[in-house]
């Protein structure tokens, strides 16, 4: 067994930790920009969301394919081995893109604001502090769960080295 | 030769498979926990015990001997042929609609894998020290 394989389960948890941290960064950015009405792209700031996906397997997955298939015509015939297809490999997660929330900006009546339109309404970012807080708690808890998995694999590696 | 007379007489081959399986289970749990917020993700599990039970069952019926990798597997596998196998259970998404990872269940699976690994590694240690004692002709205290 190479060292790479010993640490592969630590790497899986590391991908989870990094994804949750990026989520946390985006939430902080959204809260910081909750009142930003001017951006480089023009218009108010738009809520950013981190989109994660299952990481592609780094190890080469095994393929199981029976070349010949056995047909059962009587009860005491042999059974064909039913395992077929690709064996999945645990690989972790990854951030695939940072997407924009497509919901419309929040309109606030404030005629004294320099960015107010003719009717006196200002287009504010589509950010709700409450949903950001909920996302933040979810990211924190998911981060902790990944830490627990990381500690488990650390302890197991230590135990294996004591054999 | 030493392998056959010394190690294969003990539970070491079985413990070896156990350690492999529990390490893979821990990996699968870490993978599921890492993807807890991934939309449309399918969780992974590792199956091993059912195949092992068949392999350890003395009354295995008629079995075929494989001398080439292209041979058919007939009857239950022997212990050496049983491998832990990752698969994706086809269960429904939870009511959150994100994916089918239940974080509580996953943490329980993680703890189980960790404790089982701990058990198997301790048993391996004891088996080795028992072998050592018997080679030296010591009377265990």
Domain boundaries, chain A: 3-162
Q: Which residues of B touch A59 (CB under 8 A)?
A: none
Chain A residues whose CB is inside 8 A of the B98 CB are: none
Which percentage of chain B shows pLDDT scores above 70?
90
Alpha carbon distance B32, B108 (integer Å): 12
pLDDT at position B61 is: 65
Looking at the predicted structure, is the pLDDT value of residue B131 above 60?
yes
Mean of all residue pLDDT scores within chain B: 86
Of residues B40, B20, B26, the one with CA closest to residue B98: B40
Token output for B113: 């894998």
pLDDT, residue A81, reads 58
* C-alpha–C-alpha distance, residues B137 and B139, integer Å: 7
Better-scored residue on pLDDT, B28 or A4 = B28
Q: Give the pLDDT confidence score for residue B58 in this predicted structure.
A: 61
What local confidence, expressed as pLDDT, does residue A84 receive?
57
For residue A100, give how far its alpha carbon lies from the nearest alpha carbon of chain B (Å): 16
A38 closest CA partner among A120, A130, A113:
A113
What's the pLDDT score for residue B8?
A: 81
Mean of pLDDT values over B22-39: 94
For residue A105, the model assigns a pLDDT of 93
Residue B80, min C-alpha distance to chain A (Å): 17
Per-residue confidence (pLDDT) for residue B5, from 0 to 100: 79
Dist CA B62 CA B79 (whole Å): 16
- Look at residue B123 in the predicted model and tell me its pLDDT: 95
Selected for mutation to probe chain B from A6, A10, A12, A147 (highest B CB count within 10 Å) is A12
Q: Give residue B78's pLDDT.
A: 74
Domain span holding position B21:
14-48+83-136
β-pairing, A93-100 with B85-87? unpaired
Report the alpha-carbon distance of residue B117 to residue A99 in Å, rounded: 41
pLDDT of residue A86: 73
- CA of residue B130 relative to chain centroid, distance: 23
Q: What is the pLDDT along chain A (163 residues), one digit of tens a residue?
A: 566 777 888 999 999 999 999 999 999 999 999 999 999 988 899 999 999 999 887 666 666 665 666 677 877 776 665 555 677 888 899 888 999 999 999 999 999 999 999 999 999 999 999 999 999 999 999 999 999 999 999 999 999 989 8
Q: B62: nearest CA in chain A?
A: A78
Q: What pLDDT score does B141 carry?
A: 57
Mean pLDDT on B21-36 = 94
pLDDT greater than 60 at residue B64: yes
Query: pLDDT at position B76, please?
Result: 65
Beta bridge partners of A108: A122
Place B11 in a pLDDT band, splitting at 50, 70 and 90: confident
- What local confidence, expressed as pLDDT, does residue B4 receive? 79
As a three-state string, the secondary structure of chain B is CHHHHHHCCCCHHHHHHHHHHHHHHHHHHHHHHHCCCCCCCCCCEEECHHHHHHHHCCCCCCCCCCCCCCCCCCCCCCHHHCCCEEECCCCCCCCCCCCCCCHHHHHHHHHHHHHHHHHHHHHHHHHHHHHHHHHHCCCCC
Number of domain units in chain B? 1
Q: Among partner residues B36, B114, B125, which is closest to A163 by beta-carbon distance? A: B125
| B21 in A contact zone (CB under 8 Å) | no
Structural domain includes residue B7 = no
pTM of the model: 0.83
Alpha-carbon span A83 to B73, nearest angstrom: 12
């Amino acid at each position: 067994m190479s060292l790479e394989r010993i640490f592969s389960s630590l790497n899986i948890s590391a991908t989870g930790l990094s994804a949750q941290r990026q989520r946390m960064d985006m939430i902080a950015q959204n809260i910081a920009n909750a009142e930003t009405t001017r951006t480089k792209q023009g218009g108010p700031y738009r809520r950013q969301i981190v989109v994660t996906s299952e990481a592609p397997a780094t190890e080469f997955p095994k393929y199981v394919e029976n070349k010949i298939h056995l047909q059962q015509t009587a009860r005491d015939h042999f059974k064909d081995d039913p395992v077929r297809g690709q064996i999945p490999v645990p690989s972790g997660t990854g951030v695939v893109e940072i997407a924009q929330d497509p919901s419309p900006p929040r309109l606030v009546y404030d005629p004294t604001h320099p960015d107010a339109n003719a009717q006196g309404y200002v287009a504010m970012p589509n950010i709700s502090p409450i949903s950001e807080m909920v996302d933040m708690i979810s990211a924190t808890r998911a981060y902790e769960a990944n830490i627990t998995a990381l500690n488990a694999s650390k302890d197991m590696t230590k135990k294996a080295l004591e054999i | 030769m030493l392998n056959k007379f010394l190690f294969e007489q003990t539970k070491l081959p079985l413990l070896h498979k156990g350690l492999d399986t529990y390490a893979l289970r821990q990996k699968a749990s870490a993978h599921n926990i890492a993807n807890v917020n991934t939309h449309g993700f399918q969780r992974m599990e590792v199956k091993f015990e059912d195949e092992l039970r068949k392999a350890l069952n003395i009354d295995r019926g008629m079995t075929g001997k494989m001398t080439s990798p292209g041979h058919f597997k007939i009857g239950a596998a022997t212990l050496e042929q049983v491998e832990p196998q990752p698969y994706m259970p086809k269960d429904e998404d939870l009511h959150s609609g994100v994916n089918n990872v239940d974080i509580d269940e996953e943490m329980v699976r993680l703890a189980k894998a960790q404790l089982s690994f701990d058990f198997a590694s301790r048993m391996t240690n004891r088996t080795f020290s028992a072998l050592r004692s018997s080679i030296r002709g010591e009377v265990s205290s």
